[in-house]
Amino acid sequence: MSEEKPYALALTGASGMPYALRLLEVMLKGGHRVDLMLSAPGQIVIGMETALKLPGRCAGIRRYLAEHYAVDEALLRVFGREEWTAPLASGSSAPKAMVVCPCTTGTLASIAAGTSGNLIERAADVAIKEGRKLVLVPREMPFSAIHLENMLKLARLGVVIMPPSPGFYQGVTCIDDLVNFVVSRVLDQIGIDNDLSPRWGEESPGDAG
């Protein structure tokens, strides 16, 4: 039996790295293989928004994250933005699904235009052309008409546009509750079962008698 295809996760330079890193953690700890791509601005934002100090090279990032999350290093592959020989660059090795989180409006625009100027954009192009689920998590406010037009164009192609807009009905007591709400919905979209956040109509942990 062939090995299950990996999921692709791309981190670009928008704010919102706690969403991305929690998503990566849950996927890896669930035993799912992940092909990770980080833009240079994305690595800068990780340093600004989290306590992680990522190495500069892909091999070092892979070891660092596997150790940080206490998972088998074999579950994770990390690719550079110009690594055109990566499996993600070809439809013959398309991932099971792809998430760009957080997604800059610049990356969103490039995906909508099909420019494939780097591996993240090319991998997204592959996901679209191969009919794989592609989820974009744009973190920007307010959206301009340009942003909205690009989102509409992609939505009409079947791309899922998921701005990180957490609900509060689940009994929010800390920032992690908001992060888990968004991550849970992203996982739902790519078909990964999870119980990170109470569902509508379910009791929140604080309501249990």
As annotated, the binding site includes 13-15, 39, 104-107, 139, 169, 185
DSSP annotation of 84: T
Annotation: binding site for FMN: 13-15, 39, 104-107, 139
How many angstroms separate the first and last alpha carbons of the chain? Answer: 47
d(CA 10, CA 17): 11
d(CA 122, CA 84): 9
24's tokens? 């990566």
Among candidate residues 149, 156, 104, 159, the one with its CA nearest the CA of residue 127? 159
Distances (CA, A) of 142 to 138, 153, 204: 11, 18, 31
Annotation: binding site for dimethylallyl phosphate: 169, 185
